[in-house]
Structure formats: structure tokens, C-alpha cells
Amino acid sequence: MTGVGRGGRWLPLLALVAALAGCSIPSWVPLIGKSRPPAVVLPPPPAGAAKAPLLPAREQLADSEAVLDRVVCVVNNDAITLSELDEAEAYYYHENGESPREGEARRELRDRILRRMIDNRLQLQQAERDKITVEDVEIAEQLADVMKKLNVATEAELQQVFKSQGVAVEGVKKRLRDQLMVQKVIRRKVTLRVSVTEQEIDRYLAENRDKLETGLTFEARHTFFLPEPGRGEEGWAAARRRAEAAHAELLGGADFAQLAEKLSDDGSGKDGGHLGTLKRGELAADIERAILALQPGEISAPFRSEVGYHLFKLEVKETLQGAGLAQVRNQIRDILYREKYQARLREWLGEIKQRALIDIRI
């Protein structure tokens, strides 16, 4: 049986262990054995995606069954073996619901997986150099979560569950310890060095306000005056005079809805000119600008569009103010934090890679 075949038996169970451990690793990296978890997240598989069958990747890769497990990469004094790479590849297919790739596509995938495994080894080695430790009580807390999820009451029962899948509890404990060490070193080297200031949020808000306001809603009414067809500019002038007369009535206290029902040449007139609840971007740009330039309750002067003259009344307008603004600012903070976090993580990985001896043999 190949390394991938062995790994396939414990993939779903170890995915649970990884999730309960709160690790930020890609789930397609094997969590038991010699390999150690990297700290870069791949997006989860699409909802409802079918799990791909786990194929013996090493059998596909090898020209002969006589090929034995071998070292494919050395990271400083730490080796990554072919079986670990095979298991990581199988895990990727399992979690992403993909069928095994072939040819150049497969080679590119295995290269990407190997490089992320290298990143993980470097992070764990850095944690060891920094003398980062994990207490037994932390491991016990993680195991308690695993036991709860698996609905087992004692560690002896947990050992039986793992044993039935060919997994040793001591191996799980070591994996949990490694995961927590990686998390701690990332917290020290990356997380604690990233912050977002209020000034940065202000600048992002100013530069992206139009985009952030997309989707905000507003409600408005309008009265429409259609130029008589075939009369050219005279027809437009007549429509303008009608609009101006109606505007004067509104300034004198006339009810907009009643006036729209009586005078509007648009079908919305029967509803008092009500346009309904609209999202920004749903109306023609020139008409939307004219409406949103108003304050709630305000009535526009006669406005000429490509089709006729309009009178607008803004009823309600969502704005980036109050609770809505606070929510947007929190979203911006998250966006900027993620950007800075990823940049710092790449920078830190680049620094430790420069100091590392990495020998790729595949």
C-alpha cells in the first residue's frame, strides 16, 4: 500500500483535528506523520462539492513499484519525503473535491504544495529557535475539543477511534503541539506587528467612498413631463413650462403625490410618483445624481433628461453616517488589516528563507 493510500484513511478525521485546533493551515497538508502544517489558508471547497476519490499518487508518479520513499527536499536539517508530498497532494484533492490532475497541471500543483510545506518547516524551525513552548494543558484543551466533537468520554475511547483509522494519539498530540507553535511564532513575528490607524481608515474611506456607497438604498418620487412628439424644441419648451408651473405649486405647499397623480406622464403617477426603494446604480446616472443631490424631503427644480422634464422629491436616503458609518469603518479596518497581515507574513517568510538552506531534489 502506498503512502497516499495510508493517508487516505485518516483524512476526514484529521481534518476535524485541524479545525478544532484552530490552526490556520491549508487543510490539504497532512497533519500526522513527519510533515508539519503551514500557515497559509486556501479557500474552502465550494458548497456541495463532491469529494474526489483518493488515488495512489505515488503509484502514478513512479515508473516502477520498486521506487522507495525518498527525500524530495531538505530544509536546513529537516527532510520532506515523497510520501509526505503524496499525502499532501491527496489531501488537496479530498478537501477541494477535485479529480487528480495529470501532466503539467499536476507538476505545478505538487510544486505549489511542496513550497508551502517548505514555508511550514521554516516557521516551525523559527519557533524552535525562539524557544517557543506549548504547555501540556494547551494540548489537553485541544484534545478535549476533539473528544467532544467525536462524542467520546475518555482518552482511552479516543485512542480506540484513532487506532481504528491507523492513527496514534501521541502523533495527534505532536501535531497539535506543532500547530500551536506555528500559531505562536506567527503571532509574535507577524500579528503583533500589524496595526491599522484611524487616519488610514479615513484615507481609504475618502478614496473609495463611491464604491462603498454602492448598494445603499434610497426612496424618491417624481413627476414627469413628456414633450409632445413631432413639435421639436417647441414641444420641449411646452414641457418645461408645465414643469415650472408644477414646481411653483409645490413651493406653494401642494402635495407632491397628489400633483404627480394628476399631472405626471409616467406610469408611476398612479402611485403618487413613487419610484420604490432603489439601490444606487439602478437609475440613469444623471437622474440618480439629481435625486441624491437632494436632502430628504427636498424637491428639485425642473430637471431635463434625454426623455423629458422631471420634478424629484427625495423621501429617504441611506448614508455612511451613524451606525452605518461605524460598520463600514470596521469593514475597512478588517480589509486593511488583512492586507498588512499578508504583506508582513510574506516579508517575514522571505527573511527566513534568505537565511535558510533549501535543497529541492524533485
Q: Which domains does the chain have, with CATH numbers?
A: 3-189 (1.10.4030.10), 217-317 (3.10.50.40)
Mean pLDDT of the chain: 82
Model pLDDT, residue 20: 52
Model pLDDT, residue 18: 59
How sure is the predictor about 362, in pLDDT bands with cuts at 50, 70 and 90?
A: confident
**CB of 82 within 8 A of CB of 58?**
yes
How sure is the predictor about 13, in pLDDT bands with cuts at 50, 70 and 90?
A: low
How sure is the predictor about 87, in pLDDT bands with cuts at 50, 70 and 90?
A: confident
**Rounded mean pLDDT of 258-268?**
93
Question: Regarding predicted confidence, which is higher, 64 or 351?
Answer: 351
How sure is the predictor about 355, in pLDDT bands with cuts at 50, 70 and 90?
A: very high
Residue 194 has pLDDT above 60, yes or no: yes
**Helix spans in the chain (H):** 3-20, 57-61, 82-96, 103-129, 136-150, 155-164, 169-189, 198-207, 209-213, 232-251, 256-263, 285-292, 322-355
Cα distance between residue 175 and residue 21, in whole Å: 10
Cα distance between residue 42 and residue 15, in whole Å: 14
How sure is the predictor about 156, in pLDDT bands with cuts at 50, 70 and 90?
A: confident
One-letter amino acid for residue 82 of the chain: L
Residue 306 has pLDDT above 50, yes or no: yes
Strands 309-317 and 303-304: antiparallel
How sure is the predictor about 228, in pLDDT bands with cuts at 50, 70 and 90?
A: confident
**Rounded mean pLDDT of 86-112?**
90
Question: Regarding predicted confidence, which is higher, 64 or 73?
Answer: 73
Residue 263 has pLDDT above 50, yes or no: yes
Cα distance between residue 211 and residue 201, in whole Å: 15
What does residue 217 show for φ and ψ, rounded to 5 degrees? Answer: -105, 160
Model pLDDT, residue 14: 60
